Amino acid sequence: MNNPQLNKNGKLQHLLTTEGLPASILLKILDTAESFVGVTQRDIKKVPLLRGKAIFNLFFEPSTRTRTTFEIAAKRLSADIVNLNIAASSQSKGETMLDTVNNLSAMNADMFIVRHSQSGAAHLIARHVRPEIHVINAGDGRHAHPTQALLDMFTIRRYKRDFHNLRVAIVGDILHSRVARSQIHALTTLGVPEVRVISPKTLLPTKVERLGVHVYHDMEQGLKDVDVVLMLRLQNERMLGARLPSAEEYFKHYGLTQEKLALAKHDAIVMHPGPMNRGIEIDSAVADGKQSVILPQVTFGIAVRMAVMAILAGN
Amino acid sequence: MNLPDPEQLLAELTDKIRSDVTKDTVLVGIHTGGVWLAERLHKDLECTLPLGTLDVSFYRDDFHEIGLHPQVKPSNIPFEVEGRHIILIDDVLYTGRTIRAAINELFDYGRPASIRLAALVDRGAREMPIAANYIGADLVLPEDKMLALEQKDNRKLSLNLYNKISSE
C-alpha cells in the first residue's frame, strides 16, 4: 500500500501519523533522539545540522507547549523558524489554508509543522506541497499527534528499557484524543503485548477494540499490575456538556489518585501529555509524586522533535 | 594489497603518544573505530580522567547531500572541555572533514587549551588543512577504496579494504 508518509525509497518524507509506520522507522527516531538528549544538556545546546533551513510553525489551532517545543527544537538544530498564529492572521481575512501554504512555499519554506482542529489537515498539506518540502503533523482534530506519541515512547523506553514485556494503560477521554490514537498505534507497532484503555463508555470511540486494545470501564480493574499509566487531558473545550455529569464525578471515578495508582506495579510510571487539569483527571499528589515522569516527558519532547526534523530534512 | 597489522600499529601509536601524556590529558575517540582505539589507549596509557566519545553526525558537511547518518550514537564528553588538553583519536585520517567536524563539536562543549590528533593510519588525500600529531602508519591507497578498521568479538582489530560506496 502506498504510504503518503514515505518517499519512493521507503524513507520518511512527512510525519503525519504513527499509524502504518514500520517499527524500524519509529526506533530510528527514538535512537536518534538519544543523541540529541546529550546536545540539550550541554552549555551550547545547538548543532549546525539545519543551518539555512526555513521551518514554519503553522498553528491553525492555539497551542503553547507544542509550538514552543517545536520552536526550541528547530532553533537547537540551527534552523530559522517562523511562528504563524493563523487563527489571528490571514485566514480571518478569508485566505484558504492551501493559499497560506502556497505563499509560504513561495518564500522557500523547507518544512511545515501543522496544527489544525480538522482531522486530515496535515495530510492535505503534505499532498499539496512540492516534493522537497516536509510536513510534520503537530496534531489534527481527533486524528493523530505523532510527535507526542513518539516522545511518550521515548520516555517509556528510557524508564522501562524494553517494550516487549509491558502492560500499558491509557486513561481518560479516548474519544476526543488524537494523542491516544497515536499512542495506541506506536505501542502496538513497537511490540507492547498488552495495551489497555480505561474510559467511561461515553468517552470511548466505537469499535476501539479493533485497534488491538483491551477495554476497561473501571479504574481499579484497569490499573491492576500495569507498568505505565498514560493519562489523557479531559478536553473540556470539546466536551459541550452532554457526555459527563460533572468534573467532580469524573475525578471520583477516573481521576488518578495515589490510592488507585497503588494498584499498578510498585515501579509503574505516570505520564501526561499536558496541559494537566489537576483535580479532574489527575490528583496533584500523583502529578508531583515520585512515580510521575511528566516533566521528563517535556524535556525528551525537544530531543524527539529534533530527531524527527533532522531525519526528515535529510531524507 | 598487504595491509599492516593494526594491533602492531596501535602498539607503535601508543609509544608515540606516551611521553606527551600527563595526568591532565584527556582522550576523545571518534565513533566508531576511533572509540575502539581510544578505549585501548586509555587503558594502556593509564589515563586517569574519563574517556570521551564523539559522533560527528550532527556536524558533518555532507548532510545536505546524504542526509543523517543511519546510526547516530550519542556523544559523551564526561569532563569539562574548557582549558583542557585533548587528544582526538580516529582510525583513518583521509580528507580531514571528519576531524573538522569533531573540532567544531568539541568547541560546543567549551574552549579547550589544545587539541592534538592521533590516527592509526594516514592515507593522505587531504581536502582540509589538517595534520595529525601522532600516526601509526602512512598508506597510499587507490582512490576508489575505503579503508575500515573493524573489531572482532575478542576485541582484536583488523584493517580491511572495500570498494567505495560513499564518501568517507
Q: Where in chain B are the domains?
A: 6-163
- Whether residues A36 and A100 share a domain: the answer is yes
Query: Residue B166: its pLDDT value, please?
Result: 56
Listing DSSP states for A15-51 in one string gives B--STT--HHHHHHHHHHHHHHHHHHTSSS---STTT
Q: Considering the domain boundaries, does residue A15 fall inside one?
A: no
The CATH number that applies at residue A154 is: 3.40.50.1370
Q: Cα distance from A19 to chain B (closest Cα, Å)? A: 22
Share the mean pLDDT of chain A. 93
- Whether residues A105 and A124 share a domain: the answer is yes
Owning domain of residue A85:
23-145+298-314
Query: Residue A116: its pLDDT value, please?
Result: 94
- Whether residues A162 and A287 share a domain: the answer is yes
Q: Say whether residue B76 is in contact with chain A using an 8 A CB cutoff.
A: yes
The answer, yes or no, to whether residue A268 has pLDDT greater than 90, is yes
Pairing of strands B145-151, B157-163: antiparallel
Query: Residue A165: its pLDDT value, please?
Result: 96
- Whether residues A46 and A163 share a domain: the answer is no
Q: Cα distance from B104 to chain A (closest Cα, Å)? A: 10
Nearest to A47 among B59, B74, B76 (CB): B59
- Whether residues A89 and A177 share a domain: the answer is no
Q: Considering the domain boundaries, does residue A207 fall inside one?
A: yes
Q: Considering the domain boundaries, does residue A163 fall inside one?
A: yes
Inter-chain CB proximity B72 and A31 less than 8 Å? yes
Q: Which residue of chain B has the CA closest to A77?
A: B58
Which positions in chain A touch B61 (Cβ < 8 Å)?
Answer: none
Q: What angle do CA A131, A23, A10 make, to 5 degrees?
A: 30
Q: Which residue of chain A has the CA closest to B63?
A: A314
- Whether residues A35 and A155 share a domain: the answer is no
Query: Is the complex ipTM more than 0.90?
Result: no
Q: Considering the domain boundaries, does residue A5 fall inside one?
A: no
- Whether residues A265 and A286 share a domain: the answer is yes
- Whether residues A112 and A163 share a domain: the answer is no
**CA A51 to each of CA A37, A217, A222, B114: distance values in angstroms, whole numbers, following the listed order:** 19, 50, 47, 27
Q: Considering the domain boundaries, does residue A4 fall inside one?
A: no
Average pLDDT over residues A6-30: 96
Q: What angle do CA A142, A146, A149 make, to 5 degrees?
A: 100
Q: Say whether residue B55 is in contact with chain A using an 8 A CB cutoff.
A: yes
Q: Which residue of chain B has the CA closest to A27?
A: B71
Nearest to A47 among B58, B66, B70 (CB): B58
Q: Give the whole-angstrom CA distance, residue A100 versus residue A154.
A: 33
Q: Name the domain count of chain A.
A: 2
Q: Which residue of chain A has the CA closest to B54?
A: A35
Classify residue A274 as exposed, middle or buried by CB count within 10 Å of its CB (0-12, 13-18, 19+). Answer: middle
**CATH number belonging to the domain at B6-163, selected among 2.60.120.380, 3.40.50.2020, 1.10.1200.10, 3.30.450.20:** 3.40.50.2020
- Whether residues A155 and A286 share a domain: the answer is yes
Cβ pair A171, A229 in contact under 8 A: yes
Query: Residue B168: its pLDDT value, please?
Result: 43
* Segment B107-111 long-range contacts (CB within 8 Å, at least 24 positions apart): B108/A42, B108/A43, B108/A44, B108/A46, B108/A47, B109/A42, B109/A43, B109/A44, B109/B77, B109/B81, B110/A43, B110/B80, B110/B81, B110/B82, B110/B83, B110/B84, B111/B81, B111/B82, B111/B83
Inter-chain CB proximity B63 and A49 less than 8 Å? yes
As given in the structure block, the three cell numbers for residue A191 are 511490540
Q: Considering the domain boundaries, does residue A115 fall inside one?
A: yes
- Whether residues A135 and A166 share a domain: the answer is no
pLDDT in tens, B88-142: 999 999 999 999 999 999 999 999 999 999 999 999 999 999 999 999 999 999 9
